[in-house]
Amino acid sequence: MSTASERAAATAGRGSPVAPEAPALSPRAATVRAFLALLERDAWVTFRRDLAAFLAQSLMQPLFFLFTFGRVLPEIGAAQGAYGKQLLPGILALTLVITALQNTSLPLVIEFSFTKEIEDRLLAPLPAALVGLEKIVFASLRATVAALLILPMAAVVLPGGVDLGSVSWLGFLALLVMGSLAGASLGMVLGTAVPPNRINVVFAVFLTPLIFTGATFYPWQALDGLRWFQVITLINPMTYVSEGMRSALTDGPTLATGWIALGIVAATVAFAALGLKGFLRRAVD
């Protein structure tokens, strides 16, 4: 037995001899590195572990929406041939928002309750809120990839293909970023608001209305004759993403750009604040 002071003097070889000394980083530098390392971990998992699952999870539903509404309905005469042109922006928005939402909320539920694996990340040298923010950022990246993959898929499935002639690329890019962030933030709200065993109920109650009231399958303007419903759809953040996509990809009439930007930004800020608050409540008892 040695005394505490003798031991304190013998700090030379902490850990294994092959180990380099721990990087002496300032808390700020450590935070940046840790945040990037969390992204690296998620990227590794996405591309090395569950690429197929990720693609299936995010692309199956939009693929069948495109096929059924954009191809089958026009061919059997239940919709006009040009419908696909209106549908594509909506499906892009849907993929973006729903993928981001699911990729935030589902892992959160699992990692907080069943596997507890988030604990190791909460002990990484960065503020706990940034662990939550990383979840939002990465889910947004996944959603952006999924949305971009919709384009070649649509080119094959839709009878008229995809016409990128009149695309406003800057607007499209901004929508990819903001639309996915809005969806991911909403996912964080849903994923932290209820006990894990209730997430199925939340999805059943929120997801379906979100999909079908988001101006996904028709331009918002087309609801002029259904005024009460048109107003209700303005509560759904997806409406602004769909209309934004429509405005960036087509030259038909859409909600005014100012309203679109306001709707998306306001939703993102509100959901992110609420979601991160919920995340912290889970992360720190």
Partner 1 sequence: MAIIEVDELRKRYGPSGPEAVSGVSFTVRRGEVFGLLGPNGAGKTTTIGALTTRVRPTSGRVAVDGIDVQRDPVAVKQRIAVVPQRPNLDRVLSALENLTFHAAYFGYSRGDRKRRALALLDEFGLAGREGDRVDNYSGGMAQRLMIARALMHRPHVLFLDEPTTGLDPQSRLFLWDQIERLRREGTTILLTTHDMAEADRLCDRIAIVDHGKRIALDTPAGLRDLLPGARGVELTVVHPSDPAPALAALGDVETSAQEAGRWHARLYGEVTPAQALAAVDRMGAEIVDLRRIEGTLEDVFVQLTGRDLR
Asked whether the beta carbons of 268 and 240 are under 8 A apart, the reply is: no
Q: Is residue 195 close enough to count as binding partner 1 by CB under 8 A?
A: no
Q: Which helix (H) or strand (E) holds 5?
A: helix 4-9
Site residues (CB under 8 A) for partner 1, limited to 126-165? 126-128
Q: Is residue 21 close enough to count as binding partner 1 by CB under 8 A?
A: yes
Q: Is residue 29 close enough to count as binding partner 1 by CB under 8 A?
A: yes
Burial class (CB in 10 A: 0-12, 13-18, 19+), 149: middle
Contact range with partner 1 by CB under 8 A, out of 88-96, 119-127, 162-170, 211-219: 119-127
Report, in Å, the least distance between residue 200 CB and partner 1: 21
Q: Is residue 108 close enough to count as binding partner 1 by CB under 8 A?
A: no
* Joined tokens for residue 98: 């729903």
Nearest-angstrom CA–CA distance, 150 and 245: 13
Nearest-angstrom CA–CA distance, 83 and 108: 37
Site residues (CB under 8 A) for partner 1, limited to 169-188? none
Q: Is residue 52 close enough to count as binding partner 1 by CB under 8 A?
A: no
Asked whether the beta carbons of 250 and 167 are under 8 A apart, the reply is: no
Q: Residue with structure tokens 């952006």?
A: 144
Q: Is residue 2 close enough to count as binding partner 1 by CB under 8 A?
A: yes
Q: Is residue 51 close enough to count as binding partner 1 by CB under 8 A?
A: no
* Contact set with partner 1 (CB under 8 A): 2, 4-5, 7-16, 18-23, 25, 27, 29-31, 33-34, 37-38, 40-41, 44-45, 49-50, 115-128, 283-285
